[in-house]
Structure 1
């Protein structure tokens, strides 16, 4: 029997064995995605639970880059819901022709940011903007992108006893952003996005920062903090909102 199997193996052309080399890997994909979630339960003296989730989708080709990020924050105690917030961020970027040195690593973009926050100082926030961005630093360990452009913002203040029927606030803004990525070690990285929206009637500053540690293969543990400062808020509400998350993240492409 062994001789028959050996004869069959020898008779197979060598070109057939070369079709799938032992070190073969799938070619890189233009599409990547990140899915993360965190859950917290408290029992005993305090009965509460909280959940947050985030999904990021990126389609990056030679000419275009499409990004979409979706976030959910929810918390409740044994009597009522205490936090409920939804964020959607969409951006489409067109990469400029790099034949001109002054356009190296540059792109133009259109962007939309939408927030529903049941307990925030503003329950609805919608911002659309366009602009120009470029990669100030781009190597295997460090990336820094800078963006600037005009936009339009719509805010709906929360209802208060002093203002039970508030009117919407509309503002023309200038948006600037810095997106930083730093690979600390082979399995750890630091990311920080700083965004400023300056308008005639109101201004905001947002820092979204996280530390990621890969556990195995495509799984990672992620610690994140989001801090948003709003210059003018309804009476009785705070200017600064902070969200801290501890999540398990899965990346696939």
Structure 2
């Protein structure tokens, strides 16, 4: 009996090694996702808390690429909420068979910002993009195309019942990714929306350092400049985040 068990014990690992070689790796997946969050709590002289979270889903195949990004920002002190903002970004690319790695895209950007100069912003756009640089360490993509933007200004004392603004725009975007070292990378997206009534410029930049396996520490900065804003509000909004990020595929 003992001999039979020993034979099975020795035979099974040898069979497993034959079927699954030691250097075997799972085939790459078309689907990847990133989930990140950061939280800050202050007590003592000042009682305040803040939270931000981001989820990004990417489905990339030979012919198409689908991206969805969801962001949330919230802050409050011991008396009231001081910041509450939600972003949704959706983009669908159809890849063209060209040496430039070109693609046509459709995109939607939707923002709800309780304390922003504009409380609701909806932008839909389409156009053409291509990969100017695409290698292991560096990626650079350029996009341009027409779009339509809807803005709802915040209520102010001078304008207690504001009217929404609708504008045809031209959207241009630069998307840059640079691998600095084996475990660090830098990403920067610069987007300009030029319209007859208003124009915006947005820089979304982050530095990521992998801690272990799929976990990373991420520092992000988002700066948005709006040319025309309601009276009493500022043209530039800046958000800085310090988050823990998990990537899976």
Output the TM-score relative to the length of structure 1.
Answer: 0.94
Deviation at 1:23, TM superposition (A): 1.8
Identify the residue that residue 118 of structure 1 maps to in structure 2: 114
Matched, 1:130 2:126: yes
Write the mapping of 1:48-127 to structure 2, written as runs, cut at 5 A: 48-98=48-98, 101=99, 104-127=100-123
Identify the residue that residue 164 of structure 1 maps to in structure 2: 160
**In 1, distance between residues paired with 2:147 and 2:11?**
69
**In 2, distance between residues paired with 1:52 and 1:154?**
25
Unaligned runs of 5+ in 1: none
- With over 3 angstroms needed to count, the CA separation of the structure-2 counterparts of 1:16 and 1:185, relative to structure 1, is closer
**In 2, distance between residues paired with 1:75 and 1:19?**
54
Could you list the structure 1 runs, at least 4 aligned residues long, displaced by more than 4 angstroms after superposition: 5-12, 14-17
Deviation at 1:20, TM superposition (A): 1.5
Q: Please report the RMSD computed on the Cα atoms of aligned residues, expressed in angstroms.
A: 1.7
SS in 2 for 1:18: helix
Deviation at 1:63, TM superposition (A): 0.3
Deviation at 1:19, TM superposition (A): 1.6
Report the number of matched residues: 249
Matched, 1:180 2:144: no
**In 2, distance between residues paired with 1:232 and 1:115?**
17
Deviation at 1:96, TM superposition (A): 0.4
Matched, 1:246 2:227: no
Q: Deviations over 1:127-148 (max 9, x none)?
A: 0000000000000000000000
**In 2, distance between residues paired with 1:36 and 1:115?**
19
Which residue, out of 216, 221, 225, partners 1:229?
A: 225
Deviation at 1:97, TM superposition (A): 1.5
Unaligned runs of 5+ in 2: none
- With over 3 angstroms needed to count, the CA separation of the structure-2 counterparts of 1:107 and 1:237, relative to structure 1, is same
**In 1, distance between residues paired with 2:236 and 2:202?**
10
